Chain A
Amino acid sequence: MEPVLELEKLCLGYNKVIYQNIFATAGEGEVVAVVGPNGIGKSTLLKSIGGMLKYHSGSIRVLSKPLGSYSTRGLAEKISFVPSQSPRARNFSLFDMIATSCYNRTNWLGTINDSDKGFIYKTLRRVGLEDFAERDSSNLSDGEFQRATIARALVQDSKIILLDEPTAFLDIENKLIITKLLKEIAHEESKCVIFSTHDLQLAIKHCDRIWIMGRESFNCGEPSSLIEQGAFDSMFKDSLLKFDPVLFTFV
């Protein structure tokens, strides 16, 4: 099957290359975790794919077409992006917050039609927030709010969903809920979900594919084969940190 997203010899950065030689793919119905040390450029990679940052060189192909060939609006119909920390608006109901992501389909005033209204309620049910529609979105807990931002991306109705550290700042239960939710979305709605994370164990357990942004090299593959190759050891330079293939973590 044709991959949804292909990165070839991608070098990140604008004036100066900050990370180079990324070869990676992601397919329909796959959930992909991007892992790597702090500051290596995970956010930059996601933002470059989302068309929010310019990249240095190489190619990004979205649904077999180069990224540059999409208009801003055309790209928004294919890729949605969930920033690591979204500001919350006071006195803005959860429904209204999610309704904003119908932007490309609504009229000049942003009126939500009945089919989108149904779609929003269905999506709220999907992420387990169906009883919260009329609640003030700024009063949601961090875990609930993160699910709301995922619902927003789902309502945008794009093939690819990029999430910048969706599980940061969450407790272990919510980390699991979010990771499982992303997996279900990818598998059941045939989306391609790509998210950056520091939770290696959860990523290895639940993701179909992992992109490792190591200090030395970039690796892309299924978790099991990456473990066999010993690819996780390239993540950190420090020889004190060794990847344990049984515990799925660094010791």
Chain B
Amino acid sequence: MHYLRGQIEHKVTVKRKKGYIREYVIVSISLLILLMLNLTLGSVILPLKEIFSSLFGHSTQTFVNEILWDYRIPKAITALLAGVALSVCGLQMQTLFKNPLADPFILGISSGAGLGVALFVMGFSAFGISFSGSVFMNMGIAASAWLGAFAVTLLILLVSSRLRESTSLLIFGIMLGSVTSALITLLQYFSSSSALKIFVVWTMGSFSGLTTNQIWIMSALILPGLIMSVYNIKELNILLMGEAYAKSLGVNLESTRRRILIATTLLAGSVTAFCGPIGFIGIAVPHIARMFFKNADHKVLIPATALLGAAIMVLTDTVAQLPGQSGIIPINTVSALIGVPIILLIILKSRFI
């Protein structure tokens, strides 16, 4: 029988499979095109020529400069960052829990952030303080959302060292999410209508209105999250084949889980803090990446989801701008309209992890 053949020294002449240059180029070009489209469209349509001349510093039209640099570029950068962060985060959650429907918020991070915001907005309104539209308000929402997300992660981290299986962790996270959602509902019930409106608008998600400083803070939180995610690649690939195998290889499951959780908070928590809880992208993009790149290796998938996430989030934001002068569609409405068909397609084709 062929497997009985003796040991022949095997020369490493076999060419390993191609890199994914073609796929990466396609995604990167789509991202660039979508970015340009995003900068062009809006309440005022800016011609591409004007955008280029403004970008490279010799535009004469000040109004183009103003719209572009004060409004559209910050918004595009925010969308791009959010797309990268949520998608990379969703990929790690899906691998950790071996669950194709896991998303960045499966452990209750968005509900935690929501509770933070609800406490902040509705708590202040309970004392009769109103400050709509102020900078303090924006930063306060972001800070309280981040604290809420961080508190939830901290709780989960504390519990995770006592749980042996990731499935139990998943159940704990979902339960925690339900409790925080219930608390939010309770707060909503007792809050004023103006505070309620601020909260509801926050839950719809938005990329606009971030100051340069806020974008810097957001990037400063997301970047370490991304670095950690890249550092998780080796263990993520092993987790694809089950925790028993990972353990037998000497992988420290506890610290791996902890690292993935911290990366998740930095990524999803920060996006939620500044842009609100943005759904569906975190579930859908990793699946699109798997379908397009046809490889489960995280060395391929992490950059792939990052690029695809950026592209799809910029697309989402562009679609949200389509009404032009009559306003903006909430981001979450668009992301659901784009994300849900993709998720349904995945289920119908049953292309699970």
Q: For A141, what are the chain B residues with a Cβ–Cβ distance below 8 Å?
A: none
Q: A103-B250, A109-B233 are in contact. Are A127 and B240 (CB under 8 A)?
A: no
Known contacts A80-B248, A86-B242, A96-B297; A118 and B10 CB within 8 A of each other? yes
CB-defined contacts of B245 to chain A, threshold 8 Å = 81, 83, 86, 152
Residue ID in chain B nearest A152 by CB atoms: B245
Given known contacts A89-B353, A93-B17, A125 and B8 CB-to-CB distance under 8 angstroms: yes
CB of B3 within 8 A of CB of A177, answer yes
CB of A50 within 8 Å of the partner chain: yes
Residues of B within 8 A of A77 (CB): 250
What 0/1 pattern do residues 231 to 249 of B give for CB contact below 8 A with A?
Answer: 1011001101110110111
Q: Say yes or no: A125-B296 contact (C-beta < 8 A), given A81-B244, A117-B12, A134-B17.
A: no
Flag if B10 contacts A106 (CB, 8 Å).
Answer: no
Asked whether B296 lies within 8 Å of A89 as measured between CB atoms, the reply is yes
Q: A-facing mask of B104-148, CB < 8 A → 1, else 0?
A: 000000000000000000000000000000000000000000000
Min CB–CB distance A228 → chain B (angstroms): 32
Interface: A110 (CB within 8 A): yes
* B-contact 0/1 string along A94-109, CB 8 Å cutoff: 0111001101101011
Q: Is the CB of A97 within 8 A of B3?
A: no
* Contact indicator B252/A72 (Cβ below 8 Å): yes
Chain B residues lying within 8 Å of A133, measured Cβ to Cβ, are 14
B interface, size bucket: 35 or more
What residues on A are CB-neighbors of B295 within 8 Å? Answer: 91-93
Shortest C-beta distance, A81 to chain B (Å), equals: 4
A73, A90, A104, A122: the one contacting B7 at CB < 8 Å is: A122
Contacts of A184 in B (CB 8 A): 4
Interface residues in A118-158 by Cβ distance below 8 A to B read 118, 121-122, 125-128, 133-134, 147, 152, 156
The listed residue (B12, B98, B240, B252) touching A121 by CB distance below 8 A is B12
In Å, the complex CA distance between A172 and B294 comes to 34
A243 to B98, CA, bound (A): 44
Closest-by-CB residue of A relative to B290 is A91
Q: How far does the Cβ of B219 sit from chain A's closest Cβ, in whole Å?
A: 23
Question: In the complex, what distance in Å separates the CA atom of A184 from the CA atom of B4?
Answer: 9
How distant is B20 from chain A, measured CB to nearest CB, in Å? 12
Give B46-64 as 1s and 0s: 1 = Cβ < 8 Å from A's Cβ atoms.
0000000000000000000
Interface-central residue, A73, A88, A89, A128, by most chain B CB under 10 Å: A89
- The reply to whether B290 and A108 form a contact with Cβ atoms under 8 Å apart is no
* Chain A residues, Cβ within 8 Å of B2: 128
Q: Does B1 contact A (CB under 8 A)?
A: yes
**Complex interface: chain A residues within 8 A of B240 (CB):** 87, 89, 92
In the complex, whether A2 has a CB less than 8 A from a CB of chain B is no
Cross-chain contact B250 with A104 (CB below 8 angstroms)? yes
Q: Closest CB-CB distance, B15 to chain A, in whole Å?
A: 10
Contact for B244 among A52, A90, A128, CB less than 8 A: A52
Separation of A95 and B10 alpha carbons in the complex (Å): 15
Closest to B3 in A: A128
Q: How far is the CB of B19 from chain A (nearest CB, A)?
A: 14
In the complex, A181 has a CB within 8 A of chain B: yes
Whole-angstrom distance from the CB of B166 to the nearest CB of chain A?
12
CB atoms of A104 and B249 under 8 A apart = yes
Task: Give the docked Cα–Cα distance between A32 and B210 (Å).
Answer: 66
Please, how many angstroms separate the alpha-carbon atoms of A109 and B302 in the complex?
Answer: 12
Interface string of B322-339 (1 = CB under 8 A from A): 000000000000000000
Report the minimum CB–CB distance from B186 to chain A (whole Å): 40
Query: Which B-chain residue is minimally distant from A189 (CB atoms)?
Result: B7
Cβ-closest chain B residue relative to A103: B249
- What residues of chain A lie closer than 8 Å to B352, measured between beta carbons? 90
Least CB distance from A128 to B in Å reads 3
Q: A109-B299, A110-B237 are in contact. Are A90 and B353 (CB under 8 A)?
A: yes
- Beta-carbon contact of A92 and B296 below 8 Å: yes
Distance, CA A73 to CA B290, complexed state (A): 31
Contacts of B219-267 to chain A: CB distance below 8 A: 230-231, 233-234, 237-238, 240-242, 244-245, 247-252
Q: How far is the CB of A72 from chain B (nearest CB, A)?
A: 5
- Distance in angstroms from B112 CB to nearest chain A CB is 30
**Given the complex of chains A and B, what is the CA–CA distance between A89 and B237 in angstroms?**
9
Residues of B whose CB lies within 8 Å of any CB of A are: 1-5, 7-12, 14, 16-17, 98, 230-231, 233-234, 237-238, 240-242, 244-245, 247-252, 290, 294-297, 299, 351-353
Closest 5 A/B residue pairs (Cβ): A76-B250, A128-B3, A81-B248, A110-B234, A89-B240
Contacts A/B (CB < 8 Å), 27 sampled: A72-B250, A74-B250, A81-B244, A81-B245, A83-B244, A87-B240, A88-B241, A90-B351, A92-B296, A92-B297, A100-B238, A103-B249, A106-B234, A108-B234, A110-B233, A110-B234, A110-B237, A118-B9, A121-B14, A122-B8, A122-B9, A125-B10, A126-B7, A127-B3, A128-B2, A177-B1, A177-B3
